[in-house]
Amino acid sequence: MAIPTLLLGKKRTGIAKIIGIGTTVVVFLISIVIVALFQYGSPGFQFTDTASWASTFGLDYIVGIDGISLPLLIIATFLCLLAAAGSRDLISLREPEYYALFLLFETGIIGVFTSLNLILFYVFWEVVLIPMFFFIGIWGGPRRKYASLKFLIFTYAGSAIMLFGFVAVYAWTGATGSPSFDYTVLITRTVSLAMPLQVVASLATFVGFAVKLPIFPLHTWLPDAHVEAPAPVSVLLAGLLLKMGGYGLIRYNLLMFPAADKFLWPAYTAIGLITMIYGASVAFVAQDLKRMIAMTSVNHMGYVLLGTFTLGSLGVSAAVFQMFAHGLAVGMLFLMSGYIHEHTGTRNINELRGLRGKMPTTTALLIFGSMAAMAVPGFANFISEYQIIQGALSVTYLYGLAILAPALTVGYFLWMLRRVAMTPPIGPKNELSTRPLLILTAFLVPLLVFGVYPLPLLASAIRPTVDHALSVLFPGGS
Amino acid sequence: MSNLWLLTPFVSIAVFGLLVAPVGLIGRGKSPIGVAGYAGLAGLVIAMVSTIWLGFRGGPSVSFGGFEVDLFTYFFTGVLVLVSLFVAISSFDYMKGDPNTAPYFGLLLLSTLGMIVLAASMDLILLYVGWELMSVPTYALTAIRKKDPNSNEAAMKFFVLSALSSALIVYAISLTFGVTGSTNLVAIASSLRTIGSDTRSFALIAIVLFVAGFGVKMAVVPFHMWIPDAFEGAPTTVTALLASGAKMAAFAAAFRVFIVGIWAINVDFYSTFAIVAIATMTLGNVAALMQKSFTRLLAYSSIAQAGYVLIALATPTTTTMSPLGLAGGLFQVLNYSIVKTGAFIAAAAVSTKLAVNTLDSFNGLGRRMPQTAFNITIFFLALAGVPPLNGFFSKVMLFTGAVYSPFSWGGYLAVTALINSGFSMSYYGWIIKRMYFDDPADSSKIYEPKAYTSVMWIATVLVFIIGIYPDPWIRLVQGLAGSLVGLRNA
């Protein structure tokens, strides 16, 4: 759909908008149908579709979803829909190209969450990268050139190392049957791989995913990219791009190299802890609202890393759920920061003092969004963060340290709200129109619904898959 | 002989190549390019069509003396004629009004013929004939702008080093003949298998000389020095021919000589190629980042790409003796030729229209020359190996082949290559950034001649076709690699 958007849009920008947003609506409806038809409780892959692609080289088009990809698929289509809707107001430059790249991005992201072939996964992974480079570079803020190039080089170098992990697995498992890039074939073979080789492959893929997630020493592209990107793109970046890293870690690292991860998990979780606390500390000093939200992402993705490498069912499924909840909460905050910037001309937290006077409803939504990000009980984020920490504690009490991170998170969010919302209102009123407000509210609905009643997703979709996968990998518990 | 019609593509190029120059002298008239251009184009089109026809027809390979007409030859003929076609089409604008168009097109065709002979030769004497037939016209082509000192300097530098490489190859051939008593590659292989310890050292010298001789044309470190200067000084369309055609033909010859002939001697030339490959790609990529001119950047990037193809010589077969690395190398030859020719043609378009080719002149090119900028973006992403463009799959095959090889250093080779590939994105991305994100000093729109854009679009379409559905191509190169390895047992 991307190509017709570009071609038609050349003639009239209105058409590009309609097709662009229309397609995201259609895709979202399809994903709702998938949600409805999904067989809850069954651990395997469903809706698998296979086609021969380059089978001579072990490459086939194989897609399917299971309990781990289902929540991410929903959030991908949902966020794409909301971000496209938000672009209507926030993007006014070169619209045909924008919506064409947008749909290319959506293709890539859905492909990442559904493909079951390593190379196919990598193809979609990179398909996501290129539109993002142009999004930041063309539609971004003042430092967009620097940010876009930094983003491209960081993530591309990371992917290259990840690709090494993939081709190495292909070659090393070739000894036990015809070599293949098929995920379902490979997970049965990697188990019998020699330990040093598993460790190498695990490390290589870890680096690739760590850049995307991002993880402490490799995160420096993130604040730049998020701050410079236009608000709807920041939603995609934080809401979906980072989730690719988390999803990859679970599916292509943990489930493929369990033995190596059993050896490496202390290092991985320690990095996760550092990332959590570091992200939260840096967010404290951020003056720019968007930068603060960006650092929140670093902070929250640390949870995903920690949860994943507790190697326990509780932690892993909570990590998946955390990605779901974080994508919504941070997506909402980013889009809001875009609207606030457009209406007030600033994103500096100190200059936003008295926002209540100008945009009362938005301020109320900002408070809700912050509550979600702070993981206040009642929001989905609470469930996931609580379970991750619980899972971590069940491994060793040392992870009591993890409690520091939510404490810091609450601290900086409250401080931000103290400055923005709890100050005397300064007029005149300049509120958002109804549509943007509706879009922002739409983020809250699933957060609250799954915050109060997480069972349908957590217990019947994610848990069975994770339980099953882990019980195969770690017979007799971790 | 009834098989002579199998030679149609080669004869067509030879006949038209010889005819073009005299024909061009008679009927020039007011046309800016003359009859010669059309005659040359006709020869190439006939060659292309007949190559595709004969290639798909299949059939057993036929040997005309040392001139082996097999799928490998047709494959390289296809690639090289495609490059030559691209160059010829774009020359319609680039050489417009030049007094020497007739010799230009004649030499272009003859040089292409030389490259094809090189790829087809199973005999070392024929190989040398092809080598010279390829090289001599390119000296003249590089210097075709007689009044341009840069062009002359480039030609001089190129000539000296190229002549040296020819000498090295002649010496290598004579040593090989002295050791094995034959110039036929299959006979050489069977003789080398039982080589005595007294003559072994001579064979080693011959191998070193082959590596150095081919290395000059393949532009591998440490024989790469002439590349940036020659590529920058030569007319840019000729550079496209040198960078894609001559280089890939040298690889074709190296594949024949090493995979069919020299493999039989029990010498670890594989690790030599691995070291050279690593040095080549690293130096190419690092140096490319520091360039200020677009053609020099492309020159260093082509050095880096040669490093990737070398992986095919370092790790041709896997532990299970399936020639995965070799197939990847052949695939990379195809992809590289399309993309790199396209990129140099784009450079020609920019340099004729802007009269400079500094990187600063690329600022805002996305708005000034939208078609060229878009195509350069696609070529660069393909060169960097971004899926689903064609360069990705050949690279994956090469790197997988390296990990999968029986050598313990295969994994390190693959890691280095992948880090290089990741690193190369920095300068490709930098140019893309300049074209689309930076503001031009002068934002007037520039007319893009059809001669260039048509070539670029064809190349881009091929990039996508091969990239999105690579299966038939992967089958093709795997078949080729298999048959090449199969020649060992012939």
Give the pLDDT confidence score for residue A175 in this predicted structure: 67
Q: Give the minimum alpha-carbon distance from B417 to chain A in angstroms, rounded to a whole number.
A: 9
Q: Which residue of B has its CA nearest to A173?
A: B404
Q: How far apart are CA B86 and CA A429, in angstroms?
A: 63
pLDDT at B334 over 90: yes
* Residue B315 belongs to a domain: yes
Residue A314 DSSP SS3 = helix
Q: Which residue of B has its CA nearest to A148?
A: B433
pLDDT, tens only, B452-489: 999 999 999 999 999 888 888 888 888 888 888 887 76
- Residues in A touching B429 (Cβ below 8 Å): 133, 149, 152-153, 156
- Residues in A touching B374 (Cβ below 8 Å): none
Q: A62-66, A320-324, B146-150: which range is least confident on average? A: A62-66
**pLDDT band, residue A271 (cuts 50/70/90):** confident
Q: Which residue of A has its CA nearest to B377?
A: A130
User: Is there a contact between A242 and A301 (Cβ–Cβ < 8 Å)?
Assistant: yes
pLDDT at B59 over 80: no
Report the pLDDT averaged over residues B82-98. Answer: 88
Interface contact B429-A156, CB threshold 8 A: yes
Interface contact A127-B388, CB threshold 8 A: yes
Give the pLDDT confidence score for residue B285 in this predicted structure: 92
CA nearest neighbour of A294 among A246, A237, A226 = A226
Q: How far apart are CA A37 and CA A65, in angstroms?
A: 12
Report the pLDDT averaged over residues B86-105. Answer: 85
- Residues in A touching B430 (Cβ below 8 Å): 149
**Boundaries of domain holding A412:** 2-473
**pLDDT band, residue A288 (cuts 50/70/90):** confident
**Which of B308, B365, B381, B403 is the best residue to mutate to test the A interface, defined by the most A CB atoms within 10 Å of its own CB?**
B403
Q: A25-34, B9-18, B82-91: which range is least confident on average? A: A25-34
A285 by Cβ neighbours in 10 Å (0-12 / 13-18 / 19+) ranks as exposed
**Which of B437, B439, B477, B478 is the best residue to mutate to test the A interface, defined by the most A CB atoms within 10 Å of its own CB?**
B437
Give the pLDDT confidence score for residue B209 in this predicted structure: 92
Q: Which residues of A touch B (CB under 8 A)?
A: 52-57, 59, 119, 122-123, 126-127, 129-130, 133-134, 137-138, 144-145, 148-149, 152-153, 156-161, 163-164, 167-168, 170-172, 174-175, 179, 200
Give the pLDDT confidence score for residue A9 in this predicted structure: 41
In whole angstroms, how far apart are CA B236 and each of A436, B92, B342?
53, 13, 11
Interface contact A172-B403, CB threshold 8 A: yes
pLDDT at B46 over 50: yes
* Residue B11 belongs to a domain: no
Q: How far apart are CA A414 and CA A422, in angstroms?
A: 10
**Domains identified in chain B, total number:** 1
* Residue A225 belongs to a domain: yes
Angle among Cα A458, A463, A465 to the nearest 5 degrees reads: 130
Give the pLDDT confidence score for residue B375 in this predicted structure: 93
Report the pLDDT averaged over residues B162-185. Answer: 91
Q: How far apart are CA B114 and CA B109, in angstroms?
A: 9
Interface contact A167-B469, CB threshold 8 A: no
Interface contact A167-B400, CB threshold 8 A: yes
Q: Give the minimum alpha-carbon distance from A176 to chain B in angstroms, rounded to a whole number.
A: 11
Kindly state the tokens that stand for A149: 């190039």
Q: A178-192, B386-400, B425-439: which range is least confident on average? A: A178-192
CA nearest neighbour of A417 among A469, A358, A474, A368 = A368
pLDDT, tens only, A305-341: 888 888 888 888 888 888 888 888 888 888 888 888 8
**Which of B317, B400, B428 is the best residue to mutate to test the A interface, defined by the most A CB atoms within 10 Å of its own CB?**
B400
Kindly state the tokens that stand for B441: 């000093």
Interface contact A149-B430, CB threshold 8 A: yes
**Domains identified in chain A, total number:** 1
Q: A135-149, B147-161, B352-366: which range is least confident on average? A: B352-366
pLDDT, tens only, A397-410: 777 777 888 888 88
pLDDT, tens only, A407-448: 888 888 888 888 888 888 777 777 778 888 888 888 888 888
When CB atoms are compared, the residue of B386, B399, B470 closest to A130 is: B386
Report which residue type is found at B214: F
User: Is there a contact between B152 and B164 (Cβ–Cβ < 8 Å)?
Assistant: no
Q: Give the minimum alpha-carbon distance from B408 to chain A in angstroms, rounded to a whole number.
A: 12
When CB atoms are compared, the residue of A133, A157, A174 closest to B404 is: A174
- Residues in A touching B438 (Cβ below 8 Å): 145
Residues whose CB falls within 8 Å of the CB of residue B158, separated by 6 or more in sequence, listed in order: B138, B139, B142, B226, B230, B234, B242
Interface contact B419-A157, CB threshold 8 A: yes
Q: Which DSSP state fits A424?
A: P
Report the pLDDT averaged over residues A113-136. Answer: 87
Q: Which residue of B has its CA nearest to A177?
A: B320
pLDDT at A478 over 50: no
* CB burial readout A91-130, b (16+ within 10 A) else e: beebbbbbbbbbbbbbbbbbbbbbbbbbbbbbbbbbbbbb
Checking ipTM against 0.90, whether it exceeds it is: no
Give the pLDDT confidence score for residue A171 in this predicted structure: 82
CA nearest neighbour of A72 among A43, A26, A115, A132 = A115
* Residue A478 belongs to a domain: no
Give the pLDDT confidence score for residue A477 in this predicted structure: 46
**Boundaries of domain holding B323:** 268-490
* Residue A269 belongs to a domain: yes
Residue A381 DSSP SS3 = helix
pLDDT, tens only, B226-248: 888 888 888 889 999 999 989 99
DSSP-based helix, strand, coil % in chain A, nearest 5 = 80, 5, 15
Q: Which residue of A has its CA nearest to B438?
A: A145
- Residues in B touching A59 (Cβ below 8 Å): 470
**pTM of structure:** 0.90
Give the pLDDT confidence score for residue A31 in this predicted structure: 76
Range list of H helices, A240-312: 242-248, 258-285, 289-308
Q: How far apart are CA A227 and CA A146, in angstroms?
A: 12
User: Is there a contact between B63 and B122 (Cβ–Cβ < 8 Å)?
Assistant: yes
Give the pLDDT confidence score for residue A399 in this predicted structure: 79
pLDDT, tens only, B277-319: 999 999 999 999 888 888 899 999 999 999 999 999 888 888 7
**Percent of chain B whose pLDDT exceeds 90:** 34
Q: Give the minimum alpha-carbon distance from A153 to chain B in angstroms, rounded to a whole number.
A: 6
Kindly state the tokens that stand for A167: 């081709």
* Residue B427 belongs to a domain: yes
Q: How far apart are CA B61 and CA B67, in angstroms?
A: 11
Give the pLDDT confidence score for residue A11 in this predicted structure: 43
pLDDT at A177 over 60: yes
User: Is there a contact between B158 and B138 (Cβ–Cβ < 8 Å)?
Assistant: yes
Give the pLDDT confidence score for residue A176 in this predicted structure: 66
**Partner residues linked to A54 by β-bridges:** A59
**Which of A57, A127, A133, A138 is the best residue to mutate to test the B interface, defined by the most B CB atoms within 10 Å of its own CB?**
A57
Interface contact A157-B422, CB threshold 8 A: yes
Give the pLDDT confidence score for residue B115 in this predicted structure: 93
**pLDDT band, residue B82 (cuts 50/70/90):** very high
Interface contact B437-A175, CB threshold 8 A: no
* Residue B274 belongs to a domain: yes
* Residue B372 belongs to a domain: yes
**pLDDT band, residue A13 (cuts 50/70/90):** low
pLDDT at A461 over 80: no
* Residue A157 belongs to a domain: yes
- Residues in B touching A152 (Cβ below 8 Å): 425, 429
Interface contact B474-A52, CB threshold 8 A: no
Q: Treating both helix axes as pointing N-terminal to C-terminal, what angle do A95-114 and A69-90 enclose, rounded to 10 degrees?
A: 170
Q: What rounded mean pLDDT belongs to chain A?
A: 81
Report the pLDDT averaged over residues B12-28. Answer: 77
Q: How far apart are CA B318 and CA A196, in angstroms?
A: 21
Omega before B323 within 30 of 0, i.e. cis: no
Q: Strand A46-54 to strand B62-64: parallel, antiparallel, or no bridges (unpaired)?
A: unpaired
Q: Which residue of B has its CA nearest to A153?
A: B426
- Residues in B touching A138 (Cβ below 8 Å): 436-437
Residue B293 DSSP SS3 = strand
Kindly state the tokens that stand for B25: 């002298």
pLDDT at B13 over 70: yes
CA nearest neighbour of A231 among A150, A290, A301, A143 = A290
User: Is there a contact between B293 and B358 (Cβ–Cβ < 8 Å)?
Assistant: yes
Interface contact B318-A170, CB threshold 8 A: no
Q: What rounded mean pLDDT belongs to chain B?
A: 87
Interface contact A160-B422, CB threshold 8 A: yes
Q: How far apart are CA A12 and CA A10, in angstroms?
A: 6
When CB atoms are compared, the residue of B388, B432, B474 closest to A57 is: B474
Residue A426 DSSP SS3 = coil
- Residues in A touching B318 (Cβ below 8 Å): 171, 174
Range list of H helices, B290-323: 294-314
Omega before B99 within 30 of 0, i.e. cis: no
When CB atoms are compared, the residue of A52, A56, A167 closest to B414 is: A167
